[in-house]
Each structure stands twice: as structure tokens, then as C-alpha cells.
């Protein structure tokens, strides 16, 4: 196996090549932010840094949203990449397990992580879904799927199953209620919970302003 810094550098370069310029909010810079936030959380929460960095860099390599709804596509693609670098099976298995279980699957679906490494990468990914960047990514993704900004006549009930969640939000604003506003309370680590608090408040302020403008009150 190559040394840690070489593995991480090669994986970062590969992900940058694959995802630079992607327009749905799941681009290289999303991967980069999750990678850097994972490193930040690890400094206080602990865990195997190599596993954390590799899982963060590879977490969207074949996201189910772009792989025909296949939840395991990311794990398979990650394994293929890591095997090409001669990474040990112990590390590969841990990274694949994180990637297979990282995704949010609806308000009624629990997605627990069994290791501190998984908890950290999941938290980092979820932190990038809230706050100012999370708002921008929500509308970027909605636009890529031709979703309306907001439909006040739609049923905004929450998705209770993964199948319902995969069927798609009714508008970009629906995604706030079915995911973004719930993430603060689904953070695993104390470090992420502290960061999420401020980002959650920003979501609430944005929604208040958005809905006021929608109804021509501001």
C-alpha cells in the first residue's frame, strides 16, 4: 500500500477530475468541503484519519441520485478505485461501509453509522447541506431536476420511506422541510452539533424571508 499522504492526494486528484464543473451542487467543491470539514471534526472527535479522508473524498463517487437509485453503486465504485491503489482490505471494507450508509433517505428513515469515522463523514456531508451553501446547493439541484422553487398548493408531508424520498421532492422548498431543517438534530458528534446550530438558524431566517417575499409581505 502507498503511504497515507500519497493515497489521499491521488484520490483527491481523481475526484477533482471526475467532478469539476458538475452543476447540481454535487461537484468537486462539495467533495472538497466535506473532506476539509471531516478533517476538522477529526481533530476533536478522533478516529482513523486515513479512513475518514478516503471516505470523505469518495462519498459521492456514484451517489444513488445519479446511479439509477442504486444505494450500493458508490461502495462498488469506491472499492474498485481503492483496489487499484492496493489499499488494504481492512481499510477498503471500512470506507465502503461508510459510503453504503452515508446517505439521507427521508425524514422517517434512520441512517445510523456504526463507527466514529462514519459518524464524522456523515456529519460533514450533512453540514454542507445546511447554512448558506446548503441553500445554494438545494436550488442548484432543484434546477438540475427542473423543479419549481415553491408550490404552496402542494402537499408538503414528510417522506416516511426511502422509496418515497427517492421519488423526488415536490419543489426545492419542500426539501427544506423534509431534510434540511431536520439535520441539526441528526448530527452524530458534539463538534458537528455546535456548527449545525448556527447554520440551522440561517435556514430559518432564510425561509422566513423567502415566504414573506412570496406573499408580497416584504
The structural domains of the chain, ordered by start, are 4-214 (1.10.3210.50)
Q: What is the dihedral of CA 182, 117, 197, 144, to 10 degrees?
A: -50
* Percentage, residues of the chain above pLDDT 90: 66
- Please tell me the predicted confidence (pLDDT) of residue 38: 98
d(C-alpha 4, C-alpha 6), whole Å: 5
pLDDT digits (tens, 9 = 90+) for 90-133: 999 999 999 999 988 777 777 889 999 999 999 999 999 999 99
- Segments of the chain with pLDDT less than 70: 1-2, 64-70, 159-169, 218
Neighbour-count burial for 68-94, b at 16+ CB within 10 Å, e otherwise: eeebebbbbbbbebbeeeebeeebbeb
pLDDT at position 150, please?
93
Q: Is 203 exposed, middle or buried (0-12, 13-18, 19+ CB in 10 A)?
A: buried
Task: List the grid coordinates of 32.
Answer: 472538497
- Give the pLDDT confidence score for residue 170 in this predicted structure: 74
How far is Cα 93 from Cα 75, in angstroms, rounded to an integer? 9
Predicted local confidence at residue 70, as pLDDT: 66
Q: What is the signed CA dihedral for 45, 48, 50, 54, rounded to 10 degrees? A: -70
Amino acid at each position: 500500500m502507498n503511504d497515507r499522504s500519497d493515497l489521499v492526494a491521488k484520490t483527491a486528484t481523481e475526484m477533482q477530475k471526475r467532478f469539476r464543473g458538475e452543476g447540481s451542487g454535487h461537484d468537486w467543491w462539495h467533495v472538497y468541503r466535506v473532506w476539509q470539514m471531516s478533517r476538522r471534526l477529526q481533530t476533536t472527535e478522533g478516529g482513523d484519519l486515513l479512513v475518514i479522508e478516503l471516505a470523505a473524498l469518495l462519498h459521492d463517487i456514484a451517489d444513488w441520485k445519479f446511479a439509477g437509485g442504486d444505494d450500493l453503486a458508490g461502495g462498488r465504485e469506491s472499492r474498485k478505485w481503492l483496489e487499484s491503489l492496493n489499499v488494504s482490505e481492512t481499510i477498503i471494507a471500512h470506507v465502503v461501509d461508510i459510503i453504503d450508509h452515508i446517505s439521507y433517505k427521508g425524514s422517517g428513515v434512520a441512517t445510523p453509522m456504526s463507527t466514529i469515522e462514519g459518524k464524522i463523514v456523515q456529519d460533514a456531508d450533512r453540514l454542507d447541506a445546511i447554512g448558506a451553501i446548503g441553500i445554494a446547493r438545494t436550488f442548484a439541484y432543484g434546477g438540475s431536476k427542473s423543479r419549481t422553487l415553491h408550490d404552496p398548493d402542494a402537499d408538503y408531508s414528510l417522506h416516511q420511506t426511502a422509496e418515497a424520498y427517492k421519488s423526488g421532492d415536490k419543489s426545492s422548498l419542500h426539501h427544506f422541510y423534509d431534510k434540511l431543517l431536520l439535520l441539526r438534530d441528526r448530527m452524530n458528534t458534539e463538534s458537528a452539533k455546535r456548527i449545525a446550530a448556527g447554520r440551522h438558524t440561517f435556514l430559518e431566517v432564510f425561509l422566513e424571508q423567502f415566504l414573506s417575499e412570496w406573499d408580497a409581505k416584504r
